[in-house]
Amino acid sequence: MRTLFLLLLLANVTFFAYTRLDRVGSGEAARLAEQVQPTRIRLLTPQQVAALGPAKVAALADVCLEWGPFNDADKARALAELESSGLGRLLTQKRMEQSTAFWVYLPRSGSKAAIDRRVADLKAAGVKDIAVLDTGPQRYTISLGVFRTDDAARARVADLARQGVADAQSGARQQTLVQTSLVIRDPEAQVLARVRALQPAYQGSDIVIGACDKGG
């Protein structure tokens, strides 16, 4: 009798242990099946993000579009063209300074009257970003834009030649250049498409898409 009792007790303990282990095992398997596979997670480079279509970029989180840099006049124009997008707090500005820059200019004229006539002709031809230096050794020189790179300055010279300004020149200019980029956080597809459509009209501007800066 005692032997039968012990056998029954052993059978019950074995069954209990088996059911508990099976429940734990199946629960752990279920949890593992639901886990994200870390080996399949990868970070996209800015170039890879930029290559995505507008809809895919819009689906990403904490992605920022940076467009620029702009001088004050172009910044105001770009902001006005983006106003209808209703970006609100998603749009911020990022200022940057550069000590060495490249500029586009016209050779010096001998008098203020000659400068005034040339400026009037340039404006009539639709040339923008005109400034006249009125002090120092470059007095009576007409500046037609300051740029971060030599390539951007040369592109401006080529653009002016197409507008009929054949004597524009480019060169290095030692000065502190302050410019601004526009930063749009988590841009929607239509906003991304809008910026890409506007970008060619802003000489020297670039579009960079990537992870937002911390605190941005």
Residue 123 to residue 162: CA distance in whole angstroms? 15
What are the tens digits of pLDDT across the range 64-102? 999 999 988 899 999 999 999 999 999 999 998 877 789
The label of the residue with tokens 């106003």 reads 83
Categorize the per-residue pLDDT at 193 as very low, low, confident or very high, splitting at 50, 70 and 90.
very high
How far apart, in whole angstroms, are the C-alpha atoms of residue 17 and residue 198?
Answer: 70
Report the percentage of the chain scoring pLDDT > 70.
69
Rg (CA), the chain: 32
Say what the pTM is.
0.48
d(CA 207, CA 177): 20
Partner residues linked to 66 by β-bridges = 183, 208
Dihedral sign (CA 98, 51, 63, 207): positive
pLDDT digits (tens, 9 = 90+) for 10-31: 444 444 444 444 444 444 444 4
